[in-house]
Structures are given as structure tokens and as C-alpha cells.
């Protein structure tokens, strides 16, 4: 199962990305804005991996019963 700490890190990365993107928009810094979107994308992929990992573990657990 995806570790709770990893899930929290991935959510924090997403939040940081949103902050960067919004700051970039507010200041007109397109590089910061793009970096924020990239962080959010990366975080989203990691979170999807967490969900897959959890699903695999649930299937394994179902066969153990």
C-alpha cells in the first residue's frame, strides 16, 4: 500500500505547485507559473501511482481471505 507519508508528500507537492502557479500569474512570471503547473502534473502522476498501488494491495488482500 502506498505509504501515508508518501501520500502526504504528494499532496504537499500539489499544493506547492498551485501556490507557485498562482504567484506566477499574479506577478506575471511565466516561468514560475509553468513550474507550478509542472509540479502539479508530477504530483498528480504520483497520486495516480499511489491509487494503483492501493488497488493492487486490495486485490491481494481479497485473495488471502
Residue 7 has pLDDT above 80, yes or no: yes
Task: Give the confidence band of 62 by pLDDT, cuts at 50, 70, 90.
Answer: confident
Burial of 36 from C-beta contacts in 10 A (0-12 / 13-18 / 19+): buried
C-alpha span between 11 and 9 (Å, rounded): 5
C-alpha span between 65 and 54 (Å, rounded): 17
Residues of the chain above pLDDT 70, percent:
95
Task: Give the confidence band of 1 by pLDDT, cuts at 50, 70, 90.
Answer: low
Alpha-carbon radius of gyration of the chain: 16
pLDDT score for 38: 98
Q: pTM of whole model > 0.75?
A: yes
Average pLDDT over residues 22-42: 98
Query: CA-CA-CA-CA torsion for 56, 58, 61, 65, nearest 10 degrees?
Result: -130
Amino acid at each position: 500500500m502506498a505509504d501515508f507519508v508518501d501520500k502526504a508528500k504528494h499532496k504537499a507537492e500539489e499544493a506547492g505547485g498551485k501556490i507557485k502557479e498562482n504567484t506566477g500569474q499574479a506577478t506575471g512570471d511565466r516561468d514560475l507559473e509553468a513550474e507550478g503547473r509542472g509540479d502539479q502534473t508530477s504530483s498528480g502522476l504520483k497520486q495516480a501511482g499511489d491509487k494503483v498501488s492501493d488497488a493492487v494491495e486490495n486485490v491481494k488482500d481479497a485473495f488471502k481471505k
